[in-house]
Amino acid sequence: MKYKKHLYWFFYICLANFSFVVSAQNIDIQKGWQYREAGALKWYSATVPGEVHTDLLNNKLISDPFYRDNEKKSQWIEKKNWEYKTTFLVTPATIKKVYAELVFDGLDTYATVYLNNQLVLKADNMFRQWRVDVKKIIKSGKNDLVVVFQSAQNVVDSLAKKDLPFVIPDNPRAYVRKAQYHFGWDWGPKLTTCGIWKSVRLETFNKKEVEKVYKVPHQYELVQDADTVGKSFYFKIDGKPVYMKGANYIPSDAFLSRVTNAEYDKVIATAKDANMNMLRVWGGGIYESDYFYDLCDKNGIYVWQDFMFAGTMVPGDKAFFDNVKEEVKYQVKRLRHHPSIVVWCGNNEIDEAFKNWGWQKTFKMNQKDSIRLWNDYKRLFQDSIPKWVKEVDPNRPYVSSSPLLGWGKPASITEGDSHYWGTWWGLEDVEVTLNKTGRFVSEYGMQAMPNYATTEKITIEEDRHLYSDVLKAHQKAGKGFNKLNSYLQRYFKDTTNVKTWSVKDYTYLTQCLQYYSFKNIIGIHRSKAPYNMGTILWQLNDCWPVASWSITDYYNRQPKAAWYAVKEAYRDDVKPVIDLTRPINLKLENPQITFIVNGNKIVLKANKEAKYVWIDIKGYTGRLSDNYFDLKAGEQKTISIESPISKPIITITSLYDVLKRNK
């Protein structure tokens, strides 16, 4: 009898649990999708989540936009409208649920949704989750779902034209709530996508879920106190000041559906292994996936989280503000439980841009329009967004813009966070940092070419000379090669005959330049603590193969030379090193480097001092324990190979070798 009683309760509990589980049913709608150019006859298979460019690529209707100069051959895609369709099955039991909602976690961007030939949704924000009640529309059996995407480029162009002569600087992209980097950047391609970029499902349930009580993960006090020279700017976490060492993070791919959890693992590992403790999620990209923030939580990496606004003023109409309000509240609620996030920031560089970038002159702005733009800016970033954030996350600090002061202003060195671009954009020497270190430097950088293996991957032999059209297509920075050459001239080698150099040697020298710059700038920043309490370099990663400020390469997230410099410069167990002797002033002799391979170890030795020793293993996509290092005369150094390979083909290059080849 006792046994039967226990058995009864066992079945009762199981039944109760089963009933709880089935009270809510989700039907994933991610299979069977097809797409076509709007109005075309033929449909092609599509992937959801995805975007139209990757669907075209998967169906072999376009060539790889990253290869050679194919980017410009793909521009027609953004001017078209695109349709997606699928069918999904609903059971009679599902139909009986009290509620039925169609949920899109991400639609990019202007999307009209039809269910069983009925219009159910018009979406206009890539950063919002879209829910719609479809209880009266779904039916038992087969259901037809169609999503029509309107060209975002055409829409913003039309909106900008409609507002003339009033102009919102500096790009029509200001009108759309879409990843701004999709419209091109000085490190990224112009590939303005559309598509169902996150998951889609039908949720059915009998009772609406009560919102969980939010608990603050930590105590967060961004400290900005007046002192004898200006104002401090540093973070206290649970009452303890933390010196932040990190990098700016951009989206890891031009096509977001390709950023898998495995890719996030690689990217966050490149930050963690370089001894970083902060990433700034830059405001021209996206609010990242939950998995990204989970990895930051797990690895002790703090997050400076921008809202997704970068380098443009904003519309001031009610519809735009209402749209942003829903975006902000949704994203903050989604992310606020992550202990890694330590600050919300309204935007990237808009405050500075309006005051210092000459927009008023460039766009021939009258005083009335200028005042209108500035008032709309203040209303959104200084009044509305902080209020909306406080409603759902009252304990984290908020700053309206990064930075508040441009790098040409003396006060940018004594207060607030600083984007110091005197080096690179201002063509100032690296050594200027000794006198121009801000309280918290949240952007600074030096460019370098991508790894040479990447250049080989995206070019053919005839492209591999300076300055071929294809190489220029993968250098997006204004006068980028001129700036690189200016720094090479000062720090490494006379560039008068630079066009005669091989691209491989040019790549090596630009990466050595980036190594030298980051090593010394970081060393200077850290040596000035506690005056300076943060050094966040631009940038950690790339979204495609390109010459950029990134310290890692797009393919396989491989380190560039500077990654090894940053890894050493961010170590806590050593005093910051500042080696300001310019390599161009060194008297180098042939180091006569020898090496042996022993399992997963490479043992090197030099007869004379060697600078920037680069170990290149053909076809190897892993990391080395060190690279681009110096070897003293007679010194022996052992390098570990992350993942051993049989019969490695190894080339050893030093600065002496490259300079000798290019006399």
Which of 639, 643, 642 lies closest to 652, judged by CA? 639
Per-residue confidence (pLDDT) for residue 91, from 0 to 100: 95
Asked whether 389 and 220 are in contact (CB, 8 A), the reply is no
Distances (CA, A) of 286 to 71, 105, 152, 266: 21, 13, 16, 18
Alpha-carbon 599 to chain mean position: 37
AA letter at 115: L
Residue 536 and residue 625 share a domain: no
AA letter at 144: D
Q: Is 236 inside any structural domain?
A: no
Per-residue confidence (pLDDT) for residue 5, from 0 to 100: 43
Q: Is 476 inside any structural domain?
A: no
Which residue is it, tokens 């997963």?
Answer: 600
Which residue is it, tokens 């009762």?
Answer: 12
Percent of the chain exceeding pLDDT 70 equals 97
Q: Each residue of 50-102: pLDDT tens digit?
A: 999 999 999 999 999 999 999 999 999 999 999 999 999 999 999 999 999 99
CATH number for the domain harbouring residue 252: 3.20.20.80
d(CA 125, CA 320): 10
User: What's the number of domains the chain is made of?
Assistant: 3
Q: Going by C-beta distance under 8 Å and a sequence separation of 6 or more, which residues neighbour residue 272?
A: 299, 300, 301
Q: Each residue of 648-661: pLDDT tens digit?
A: 899 999 999 999 99
Token pair for residue 465?
Answer: 């000379």
Residue 544 and residue 441 share a domain: yes
Side by side, the strands of the sheet bearing 130-133 are 24-28, 200-205, 99-104, 130-133
Residue 90 and residue 57 share a domain: yes
DSSP character at residue 39: T
DSSP character at residue 590: -
Angle, alpha carbons 550-56-255 (nearest 5°) = 25
Asked whether 79 and 24 are in contact (CB, 8 A), the reply is no
Q: Going by C-beta distance under 8 Å and a sequence separation of 6 or more, which residues neighbour residue 598?
A: none
d(CA 50, CA 60): 15
d(CA 473, CA 523): 34
190: how many CB neighbours lie within 10 A of its CB? Answer: 18
Residue 141 and residue 46 share a domain: yes
Residue 146 and residue 280 share a domain: no
Per-residue confidence (pLDDT) for residue 23, from 0 to 100: 58
Q: Is 13 inside any structural domain?
A: no
Token pair for residue 68?
Answer: 């050679």
d(CA 101, CA 90): 13
Asked whether 17 and 192 are in contact (CB, 8 A), the reply is no
Give me the residues of the chain with pLDDT under 50, please: 1-22
Which of 480, 600, 579, 598 lies closest to 185, judged by CA? 480
Containing domain of residue 617, as a range?
586-661
pTM of the model: 0.94
Q: Is 590 inside any structural domain?
A: yes
Residue 353 and residue 256 share a domain: yes
Residue 563 and residue 414 share a domain: yes
Token pair for residue 270?
Answer: 């490149």
Interior/surface letters 591-607, b for 16+ CB within 10 angstroms, e for the rest: bebebeeeeeebebbbe
142: how many CB neighbours lie within 10 A of its CB? Answer: 10
For residue 398, the cross-strand partners are 344
CATH number for the domain harbouring residue 657: 2.60.40.10
Residue 262 and residue 139 share a domain: no
For residue 124, the cross-strand partners are 110
d(CA 34, CA 256): 19
Task: List, in sequence order, the alpha helices (H) in 50-91.
Answer: 52-58, 70-73
In Å, the largest CA–CA distance within the chain is: 98
What SS3 class is residue 273? coil
Q: Is 574 inside any structural domain?
A: no
The residue out of 205, 233, 251 marking a domain boundary is 205
Residue 633 and residue 537 share a domain: no
Q: Is 91 inside any structural domain?
A: yes
Torsion of CA 410, 412, 415, 417, to 10 degrees: -170
Which of 437, 416, 441 lies closest to 222, judged by CA? 416
Per-residue confidence (pLDDT) for residue 59, from 0 to 100: 98
Task: List, in sequence order, the alpha helices (H) in 64-217.
Answer: 70-73, 92-95, 152-163
Token pair for residue 573?
Answer: 């167990």
What is the C-alpha radius of gyration for the chain, rounded to an integer number of angstroms? 27
309 CB-side CA count, 13 A: 27
Per-residue confidence (pLDDT) for residue 418, from 0 to 100: 97
Q: Is 20 exposed, middle or buried (0-12, 13-18, 19+ CB in 10 A)?
A: exposed
Residue 199 and residue 62 share a domain: yes
Q: Is 9 inside any structural domain?
A: no
AA letter at 574: V
SS3 content of the chain, % helix, strand, coil (to 5): 35, 20, 45
Residue 594 and residue 565 share a domain: no
Torsion of CA 407, 411, 414, 416, to 10 degrees: -70
Asked whether 257 and 179 are in contact (CB, 8 A), the reply is no
Q: Is 545 inside any structural domain?
A: yes
Angle, alpha carbons 352-255-508 (nearest 5°) = 75
Length of the chain: 663
CATH number for the domain harbouring residue 102: 2.60.120.260
Residue 428 and residue 322 share a domain: yes
